[in-house]
Amino acid sequence: MDIENRNSDAYLHGDVKAVEALLDERYTLTNSRALVTHRDDDLKELRAGDPKYTEFRTHDMQARVYGDAGIVIGIVSLKGTSGGKAFDADMRFTDTFVRTNSVWKMVAAQVTLIPK
């Protein structure tokens, strides 16, 4: 869960280097519109500063570790702007991690919008 919190802070502050270090090179995200994006897509958005987050907070998390694999489920609360438009959303997430050479990296993520 420490990695989840560091990842949230990195996205909140637009910290490209931290996200590069936390996401596996083969990372994929299945987003709330059922589109699959990749690590390079996230890094491109961070470099462009769009979306711009005022809140990126993970909470209500549970972690399960299976040897060198782990899964974290929880809720991510997001606020900010994208394309000049404000957004405010809560999403359930499932993030999958793999430990290689004692380093944990996120390899896959999936989010589902929680209707307001």
Q: What is the pLDDT of residues 35-46, one digit of tens each?
A: 999 999 999 999
Asked whether the beta carbons of 97 and 103 are under 8 A apart, the reply is: no
Q: Is residue 5 scored above 90 in pLDDT?
A: yes
Instruction: Provide the number of structural domains found in the chain.
Output: 1
∠ CA 109-7-11 to the nearest 5 degrees? 100
Q: Can you give the residue range of the structural domain that contains 73?
A: 2-113
Average pLDDT over residues 43-54: 96
Q: Is residue 1 scored above 90 in pLDDT?
A: no
Q: Is residue 15 scored above 90 in pLDDT?
A: yes
Contacts of 50 (CB under 8 A, 6+ apart): 81, 82, 83
| CATH number of the domain enclosing 93 | 3.10.450.50
pLDDT digits (tens, 9 = 90+) for 80-114: 999 999 999 999 999 999 999 999 999 999 999 99
